[in-house]
Amino acid sequence: MRPDVAAIPRRIKELREILEISRADMAENLAISEAEYEKCENAQTDIPISMLYNIAEILGVDTTVLLTGDTPRMRGYSVTRAGKGVLVERYLGYSYRSLSFNFLHRNMEPLLVTLEEGREPELVTHPGQEFNYALKGKMRITVGPKSFVLSEGDCVYFDSALPHGQSAVSGPAVFLTVIKE
C-alpha cells in the first residue's frame, strides 16, 4: 500500500482543526517555530517520521491514521506479507515500509528502510530507543558524535534522543529499524 504523501499534511491540518489546536500550539508542542510547522502542514517541506510520531501523539491518533487515513484494526497479532505494508517515499533516496501499520495500540514501530547511495544523512532526534539491523548493502549510521559502517548482519541499538541518521555506502542499502518511543 502506498499512501498519498501529499494527503498526510491535509490529514494533520484537518485533525488539528477538528480538535481546535492552533498552529502556534502545535509548533510549541513540537519544539519548532510556527513558520516551520506551517511549511510541514502546507506540504512545503518533508515531515520526518519522528515528527509524525509526535504529531500523532498530540492529535491522539495512531501514525497509521496520518499515513493512510485509516485506523489500525488488529489485536493480538498482525501479519504483513512480503512487499506489503505502508510504503512512504519521504524524499529522493529514502523510503520506508511500515510493517506493523495494522496493529492496534502498538508500542514499537518496525520499519523496512531503503537508502540510495549519494544521500547525506538527515540527523533527527526523537524520544525512546531505536534498533537498526543491516539486511542488504552497507550503511553509515551516525549516532551523536560517532559514525559506524554496518554491513549485512550488523546492528546497532541506541538512545534515539541522540542526533542520528543513516546513509548508503557503495550502492543501495536496506535495513530494519525498530523504534520504541
- Domain count of the chain? 2
Q: In this structure, is residue 94 part of a structural domain?
A: no
Cell reading at 155 = 546492528
Q: In this structure, is residue 18 part of a structural domain?
A: yes
Q: Domain check: are 56 and 112 in the same one? A: no
Domain span at residue 138? Answer: 107-180
Q: Domain check: are 13 and 61 in the same one? A: yes
Return the CATH number at 134. 2.60.120.10
CA separation for the pair 47, 176 (Å, rounded): 20
Q: Domain check: are 120 and 59 in the same one? A: no
CA separation for the pair 136, 134 (Å, rounded): 6
Q: Whole-angstrom distance between the N-terminal and C-terminal Cα of the chain?
A: 24
Q: Domain check: are 111 and 176 in the same one? A: yes
What is the full per-residue pLDDT of the chain (181 aa) written as tens digits? 555 667 889 999 999 999 999 999 999 999 889 999 999 999 888 787 778 888 999 999 988 899 888 888 888 999 999 988 888 876 778 888 999 999 988 889 999 999 998 888 888 888 889 999 999 999 999 999 999 999 999 999 999 999 999 999 999 999 999 998 7
Pair 142, 121: CB distance under 8 Å:
yes
DSSP helix/strand/coil, 103: strand
Which pLDDT tens digit goes with each residue over 19-28?
999 999 999 9
User: Closest by alpha carbon to 129, among 99, 162, 166, 97?
Assistant: 162
